[in-house]
Structure 1
Amino acid sequence: MDLTAITAVVAAISGIFVGWSGRARAIQQEIKNDAQSGGALHSDVEYIKRGVDDIRIEQRTQGKRIDDLAERVTRVEESSKQAHKRIDRLDAVPRQERED
């Protein structure tokens, strides 16, 4: 073999080796980037889950407040109705009888 052929073979083998190691490094970098992206995505999803849970808790609390308020309004309406009945009875009695 002459020197040119040996140089060509060595160059081809070293080219294959450099290409292979470069591709391996690129694959490792892609894996690292994917892992970072996956971790960031996972933490974002967890943050959203916590926010949704907080909203649900707040919604339940608001629902309870509304139920309590509706119950109080009902009681006030009943009391007002009774008061109006008493006032109507007083209006039906002549004024002189009330003053005696």
Structure 2
Amino acid sequence: MTDFSKDAKIFKALCDTKRLTILDYLKSGEKCACVLIENMNIGQSALSYHMKILCDSGIVIARQEGKWTHYSLSKSGSEYASKRLLELTTPNIENQSSCCK
């Protein structure tokens, strides 16, 4: 049986408008948490909550610089997420069974 726990983390990261907004900001490059807080008009604790989910999914990576954390998109994480979505939504003709025949 396939373990879908990693996939669930990826899709959880993508099912929230604030997290999608964060990903949109990160498309233009690395951003400091202070920039995201200001641009999104959210508090530090709310940003931390969303960034934990995004980082746990592997789509975003974080690095510490002084007291601030800087976030960027993970190329390998994004590629993996795209690959899994395609794999999960592409019909497998060879394994289709006929029902009630």
TM range (shorter): under 0.3
- TM-score, normalization by structure 2: 0.23
Higher helix share: 1
User: Rg bigger for which structure?
Assistant: 1
Higher strand share: 2
Higher relative contact order (CA 8 A, sep 6+): 2
